[in-house]
Amino acid sequence: MLIKRVSILLVLSMALGAAFAVGQSDVQIRTNRPGANVTVERGPADGKAVVTVVDARQEPVLGLTTSDFSVSRAGTAGNVVAVEPIDRKVDVPRHTVLVVDNSYSLVERKVNDKRLADVETVAKAIRPIDDVRMVVMRDNKKMKIGGRDLHVEVLNSNKPSELQAFAAKACTPATVTDNTFLYEEMFAGLEILREMPSDGPRFLWVFSDGEELNSAFKSDVVSQAAQGVGNLRVFAIDYMPVSKIDEFLSTFASQNHGQAKKSGSAADLLAQFQQAASRTEHHYAVTYEFAAPPPAVAAAPAAPGRKIMTFQQAALFDFDKAILKPEGKEALKRYREEVREAMSRADRVTITGYTDSIGTDEYNKKLSLRRAQAVRDYLVSLGVDPSKLEVRGEGKANPVADNKTAAGRAKNRRVEVEVVGEAK
């Protein structure tokens, strides 16, 4: 009978069937999919475990079925009974830098209020799990970031109220800068993002009119800095009071998987920002089973002059194998000694293999025949006359129990040895 059935959430193993232990149960999960990686999320508890499956690009592998997995425990193979995909959404931190152009030019162009309104819109979307910095310009204050002395000041906060207050203070007529260090601001933002964890998406928001006058370097330095920042998306809001979007902001945003828009459009970009706040995780719920070693030999009712012995296949073979286990050989040795006289007097000895109902007819016939042949060969090695031995593979025919239950299927997986005509 079956002694264990476990439901488990699975992700693929490494190339060509690498195995991973599940928790403390010594159960190992294998797959025949190449180039994939398995991670156990939680060990078994009440017969359950959680694992995830990704390919070499760290993308989830979808559409897996029972044929894609195998299980074993202490070298003994089990049977994967069912596989069910399970998806769930989880929140992820967004690593974000808000670059706020606080030069006098935005006050002069009377777009200061629009800029602060857009900053507020984005700031309100910040969550406690997000990692956020805000960068503003400073005329007479420098910070060393990325190996450069930059005219910037940085706030580290993920509280919407603090972000809004910092931006408002930096953009008042009394505190705006006389100079314009936009490229230094953007470079600082990129270097800050580079140092943030890689466990979530990275965003650079730029709120500016696109004007650049006083930075110590040109736009190519900013573009180069962006190339080393993984998972980067750039959103830019252009406040220059003309219809055309600043060429550099537009190109830079599009080259970094983002978009540039004119003032008042932060809400349009916010939807894309919000989509990155969660991801879908893909798992598999897998049910598997192991057969308990039954008594090595069980007597079956026999007609006069006929003796039938039934060997449960779990006592002789590993799952889906036709090679006798050491304990299987010992069982056959004991049986050989018990029926030595009967076999010597018998007309013939018929060895018949059977399987349960799982699998195709053709496969089960072949497997049952190979197992019967393995028993025959071992009995011959023990001195049984090979001319008396007949071998059959009947597959799923003649079940002795209900194939709808695990215990029934275990009983149906058997080898019968019938001694015929020994009572002379």
Instruction: Return the pLDDT at 407.
Output: 75
Instruction: Return the pLDDT at 171.
Output: 95
Instruction: Return the pLDDT at 309.
Output: 87
Give per-residue pLDDT as tens, 159-195. Answer: 999 999 999 999 999 999 999 999 999 999 999 999 9
CA count, 13 A, side-chain hemisphere, 95: 18
353 to 311, 312, 322, 372, 396: CA distances (angstroms)? 10, 10, 11, 5, 9
Q: Supply the pTM of this predicted model.
A: 0.55
Instruction: Return the pLDDT at 422.
Output: 60
Q: ∠ at Cα 195 (189, 201), nearest 5°?
A: 75
Give the gyration radius of the chain's Cα atoms.
Answer: 36
Highest mean pLDDT among 223-227, 288-292, 302-306: 223-227
* Mean pLDDT computed over 292-319: 63
Q: ∠ at Cα 316 (333, 304), nearest 5°?
A: 65
What single string gives the DSSP state of each residue in 77-140?
E-EEEEEEEEEEEEE---EEEEEE--BHHHHHTT-HHHHHHHHHHHHTT--TT-EEEEEEE-SS
pLDDT surpassing 90 at residue 79: no
Reported confidence tier of residue 37, pLDDT bands at 50, 70, 90: confident
pLDDT surpassing 90 at residue 84: no
Reported confidence tier of residue 7, pLDDT bands at 50, 70, 90: very low
Q: Which two tokens stand for residue 368?
A: 């049952």
Could you tell me the domains of the chain? 2-90+280-290 (no CATH), 95-276 (3.40.50.410), 293-420 (3.30.1330.60)
Highest mean pLDDT among 5-14, 146-155, 290-299: 146-155
* Mean pLDDT computed over 254-272: 91
